Amino acid sequence: MTTAPSTSPNAAERVLTPPLVVFLLAVAGVLGFALWQRLPPSPEQAVVQLHDGDLDGDERARAFAQVVAGALGSDEPGLRWAGLLAAIAIGDRPAHAALRSALLDPQGRWQLPPEPAREALALGDPMLGNLRDALLAEANGDVALAAERWRQVAAQSRLVANRFAAELATEAQVRLR
């Protein structure tokens, strides 16, 4: 008597069934998406998130740091301005000094950000918005508006306990007298 060859699937075929493969791919997709969500945003994305007010607390501080780091390696004036203001927000004086010198030409004139990018430069913070306005007014020669905005920055910096912004406001008020 001869036995017929076995038609049962081998062990590898039994383990990797189509439903199991689909399930494993779905799990890998979910894990990949979760990992992607945990990666830091690009500096440009961080500017948008800060401007939109999507971040709080530690997330906000990390986004400011991300903007500063990206601005230090960028030649784009809008990102450099965002980095300049973010450096003030986190009190990063060396980054502020580096970005300020990168934005000033040899004659001391500011390299201005493009008009469409200026609104987002406030980074979702009213004090930074006034700081932006003060710097832009000074760059455009509007001493009266600059002085008014610097007074607002001085008052707001006391409310949010930002010593660096307060020092910049005091220096500007002396400079503009």
Say what angle helices 93-103 and 77-90 make with each other, to 10 degrees.
Answer: 150
Mean pLDDT value of segment 66-74: 94
Percent residues over pLDDT 90 in the chain: 62
Q: Quick: pLDDT tens for 82-101.
A: 999 999 999 999 999 999 99
Question: Distance between CA atoms of 79 and 70, rounded to whole angstroms?
Answer: 8
Question: Distance between CA atoms of 151 and 177, rounded to whole angstroms?
Answer: 12
The first and second tokens of residue 38, run together, are 């945990």
CA dihedral over 14, 16, 17, 23, signed as positive or negative? positive
Q: Quick: pLDDT tens for 109-144.
A: 999 998 888 999 999 999 999 999 999 999 999 999
Q: Model-level pTM?
A: 0.78
Q: Quick: pLDDT tens for 118-127.
A: 999 999 999 9
Question: Distance between CA atoms of 175 and 177, rounded to whole angstroms?
Answer: 6
What confidence tier does 20 reach under pLDDT thresholds 50, 70, 90? Answer: confident
Domain boundaries, the chain: 42-122, 125-177
Instruction: Return the pLDDT at 10.
Output: 63
Please count the helices (runs of H) and the strands (runs of E) in the chain.
9, 0
Q: Count CB atoms within 10 A of the CB of residue 114.
A: 10
What confidence tier does 72 reach under pLDDT thresholds 50, 70, 90? Answer: very high
Tell me the DSSP string of 29-64.
HHHHHHHHHHSPPPHHHHHHHHHHT---HHHHHHHH
Question: Distance between CA atoms of 83 and 120, rounded to whole angstroms?
Answer: 12
